Structure 1
Amino acid sequence: MSKKYHFIAIGGAVMHNLALALLEKGYKVTGSDDEIYEPSRGRLKNAGILPKEKGWFPEKIHNDLDGIILGMHARGDNPELIKAKALGIPIYSFPEFIFNQSKDKKRVVISGSHGKTTITSMILHVLQYLEINFDYLVGAQVEGFDLMVKLSHAPIIIIEGDEYLTSPLDRRPKFFHYHHHILLMSGIAWDHYNVFPTFENYKSQFARLVEMTPEDGTFIYCKEDQHVRNLAVSLDSKRMRKIPYNAHPHSIQNGETILKTSSGTIPIAIFGAHNLQNLQGALEVCKSLGIKENEFYKAISSFKGAAKRQEIIAKSEYSILFRDFAHAPSKLKATVTAVKKQYPARKLIAVQELHTYSSLNKEFVNNYAHTFDEADIAIIYLNPKAVSLKKLELMDEYMLREGFQRDDLMLFTEMEKLKRFLEAQEYHNTNLLLMSSGNYDDMDLKNLKAIINKNHS
């Protein structure tokens, strides 16, 4: 008989992908949520498992269920959760369930404050290109993959290991639950200020993760990151295999990045020092899985990047409109610097939407100092409604200029005014970079795309 699972908070980006993956595996799936947005809504509807009504319904919880999968969005007093506990139904957080389904696999976990999704996507791309059988969990939609989760009988699983909290019942980072054999760590830069109130507390989560590496395991780490390097140095080297990496040797020619390899040069679609680090990290993971360097290079040449990671929305001979997920200080600085270095002769207009609890908090804003230095025009957008929902104080232009250490920083608090300003700019020999983990309040990019696409004179 096929197993039955009920999802509490089925509408989340990763949660609905897991629901669809289990459906594909032949399991019976039900779920509830108080809000479901696109694309989750449409995908669940097409699969026939969209909840009929919004809200929580204890009557959906019964003894025939093999388990409950609990999303981070649900609260501890959720009525469905309370009934599941009363009936003694097994309750799994998302990462616990992934581990439960992959106990017999070789588990590769990609961790770090930045670059996780890109590195995981690169590895997925290479394995798929080489027709190797594998499962995965990745935090964004990747070209060539229908879902963000796959669970099958494959012998290995590639997991993007997030440090954010597991569930309302488990306040530990998700990545503790995967019990890795191979661990990659890209870098440590303070994030999730609302959960990890000090940088020391944040760093300690990564230290504990590294210590969980088994004696015959592998720790692959970016030696260009001081905090990760310190962790590696402090480890007993007899316990595990340690593999350091830094940015892959490369050159930039006419706005194109070229890899330098032992067997010649290879042009690639991605760029930026941070992405060349990501690529080298992905290469080391693939080598640890038995893939030869020449096979990796052949596959990676066709990798276009993960969704919203330096994604090109519009392009002409003289200008490009980029969209990027960058929101934490380290990500913002890396992305701005990468675009400027790739196109040094072009003006760069960079816009950052402050969207997360950390980025909207005046106590944290000093961590953004000098992240915008490479931009010719630096703009902040924030929605006062988002600030009030998080019960924070709205920062003014002066406070942001102090925090970012940039006297000409511009602030917009109305999306329409920002849109009009951007559409009025001259885009000859100019790139526009939009960065956010949000969506600029669904700003319509149609006119901007048209302006940039026709900019051929």
Structure 2
Amino acid sequence: MNDLPGRGGHVHLVAICGVGMAPLAGLLHSRGYRVTGSDENVYPPMSSYLAGLGIHPLSGYREENLAERPDLAIIGNAVSGNNPEVQAILRLGIPYLSFPQALGKFLIGSKRSIVIAGTHGKTTTTALMAWVLTKAGLDPSFFVGGIPINFSGGFRDGAGPWAVLEGDEYDSAFFDKGPKFLHYKPEKVILTSLEFDHADIYRDLEHLKSAFLRLVELIPPTGTLLVCNEYEAVKEISKAARCPVTFYGKGEPKGWEAKNLRAHESRSWFEPLQQGASDGVTEIPMMGQHNVSNALAVHAMARELGIDRQVLRQAFKGFSGVKRRQEIKGTIGNITVIDDFAHHPTAVNGTIEAIRSAYPGRRLWAIFEPRSHTSRRQVFEHEFAATLAGADRVVLAGLYRPDKIPPTDRLSPEKVVSEINRSCRDGRAVFIERAEDIPPYVAREAKTGDIIVVMSNGGFDGVQEKILQALAG
């Protein structure tokens, strides 16, 4: 559709609490639209964020949610074509867009876009890129599938020439099975990583690579592709680029590298070098090699844009991170609870290694909920066991909505726990099916000095706060 509703028009978002849809609701609200929406999963931080804007999602999907007929509906990819609310939209002839179509029309428009894509690190890298451009005085627009702490929400409607976007490879909507990032008009692209994920829509790694290949092919000859050289799949698809390609990371071919790394608690220091030439020591308030890699990518792209390295250093030092990415929720009796979004074995491993490095000598708990489409499947059963075994104590929760996964495809938490205990020979792992039973168990077993990291890509029944409450007695 080409005719968008004017200022003050009514826009209704189906699946409004999604990590992308909620910030989109905020963007529309800031533009003067009347925003409503519905969802079946209403939980913080997105529900809190929406409430702060005066938007109160309707619970559940039903035709009655459209009683006040909207001028436009935006349909998230979490709902199918047989959803009752979607069926009503189609039957009533209400104009509709997918989430990425709406983003292209409402935010990007004629701006130049910087797209951050990859299996891991998209959200943090996008937030940091947007923060750097803001501190450099470039007044960017941005959109990120999370809540950057430096900003008031997951979007910014800037007056500058650049739009920074988190490029998601997931499909756009039930009526558009192409990946979201194909709608983002990429001029400059950062590819952070590429591993198999989204097992519900991609058959295998080759199928997933084909989606990223389409993104690379969209970059104009005048654009830029910045590629992490630590992933063979990324290097392979970069060969199709029509634009200049720059590499970063510890692999080959050489480009930008991070040297002289050191860390203390939640801060890291590193030295960015391009072809051996140093840009000086940089400090970031994040922990872990994976976050150093994210920062190195932003540093390289910022230098490509001509941003002074002193401006970069100051911006990095003042970055506050993203909610639910190694976010310290609280400390009770010298026991610290950290919330993280990790849900892929590589991301889980990166989080565990980062916290180990930042808090040496302290006992580490890993509490994991298999919630994503991939983590609920047995495809990574052995990999989850291997990476979770890196913690001193492990709690594996039951699968989120296991009925949505065919029984023959489901991950078995019991098998993961058994494999951890068999390999470690110390009984460090337990399976606790119900989230409500985890906080009292942790409160009984935790000792002063423990670090407890909770990993899930969803609400996990608010278990992070409930652990703090249980520890407080």
Corresponding residue to 1:251 among 249, 261, 270: 261
The separation in 2 between residues aligned to 1:284 and 1:80, in whole angstroms, is 45
- Tell me which residue corresponds to 2:431: 411
TM-score by length of 2: 0.83
- Tell me which residue corresponds to 2:254: none
1:311 aligns with 2:309: no
1:93 aligns with 2:98: yes
The separation in 2 between residues aligned to 1:43 and 1:411, in whole angstroms, is 32
- Tell me which residue corresponds to 1:379: 395
Give the letter for the 2:155 counterpart.
V
- Tell me which residue corresponds to 1:341: 357
Corresponding residue to 1:320 among 328, 333, 336: 336
- Tell me which residue corresponds to 1:76: 81
Q: 1:46 to 1:361 in 2, by over 3 A?
A: closer
Q: Please report how far the alpha carbon of residue 373 of structure 1 lies from its aligned counterpart in structure 2 after TM superposition.
A: 4.0
Q: How does 1:22-171 map onto structure 2 within 5 Å? A: 22-26=28-32, 28-33=33-38, 35=40, 37-39=42-44, 40=46, 44=50, 47=53, 50=56, 55-57=62-64, 60-61=68-69, 65=71, 67-78=72-83, 81=86, 90-101=95-106, 102-171=108-177
Give the letter for the 2:316 counterpart.
I
- Tell me which residue corresponds to 2:244: 241
Unaligned runs of 5+ in 1: none
189-198 or 246-255, larger mean C-alpha shift: 246-255
Q: Is the 8 A contact 1:134 1:155 kept in 2?
A: yes
- Tell me which residue corresponds to 1:21: 27
Give the letter for the 2:258 counterpart.
H
Q: 1:430 to 1:244 in 2, by over 3 A?
A: same
Give the letter for the 2:292 counterpart.
L
The separation in 2 between residues aligned to 1:52 and 1:369, in whole angstroms, is 38
1:427 aligns with 2:447: yes
Task: Find the residue that maps to 2:378 and give its secondary structure.
Answer: coil
Task: Find the residue that maps to 1:374 and give its secondary structure.
Answer: coil
275-284 or 343-352, larger mean C-alpha shift: 343-352
Task: Find the residue that maps to 1:145 and give its secondary structure.
Answer: coil
Give the letter for the 1:244 counterpart.
F
The separation in 2 between residues aligned to 1:428 and 1:53, in whole angstroms, is 40
The separation in 1 between residues aligned to 2:372 and 2:243, in whole angstroms, is 36
Q: 1:406 to 1:30 in 2, by over 3 A?
A: same
- Tell me which residue corresponds to 2:384: 368
TM-score by length of 1: 0.86
Deviations for 1:81-133, whole angstroms, at most 9, x for unmatched residues? 55655676643211112112323101010000000001011112222333321
Q: Is the 8 A contact 2:339 2:464 kept in 1?
A: no
Deviations for 1:146-189, whole angstroms, at most 9, x for unmatched residues? 22123354311000001111011111111111120001000012
Alignment root-mean-square deviation, CA: 3.1
Q: Please report how far the alpha carbon of residue 218 of structure 1 lies from its aligned counterpart in structure 2 after TM superposition.
A: 0.5
The separation in 2 between residues aligned to 1:316 and 1:30, in whole angstroms, is 39
Task: Find the residue that maps to 2:137 and give its secondary structure.
Answer: coil
Q: Is the 8 A contact 2:16 2:57 kept in 1?
A: no
Task: Find the residue that maps to 1:104 and give its secondary structure.
Answer: coil
Unaligned runs of 5+ in 2: 1-5, 250-256, 273-277
Overall identity of the aligned pairs, in %: 26
- Tell me which residue corresponds to 1:352: 368
Task: Find the residue that maps to 1:296 and give its secondary structure.
Answer: helix
Q: 1:435 to 1:87 in 2, by over 3 A?
A: closer
397-406 or 248-257, larger mean C-alpha shift: 397-406
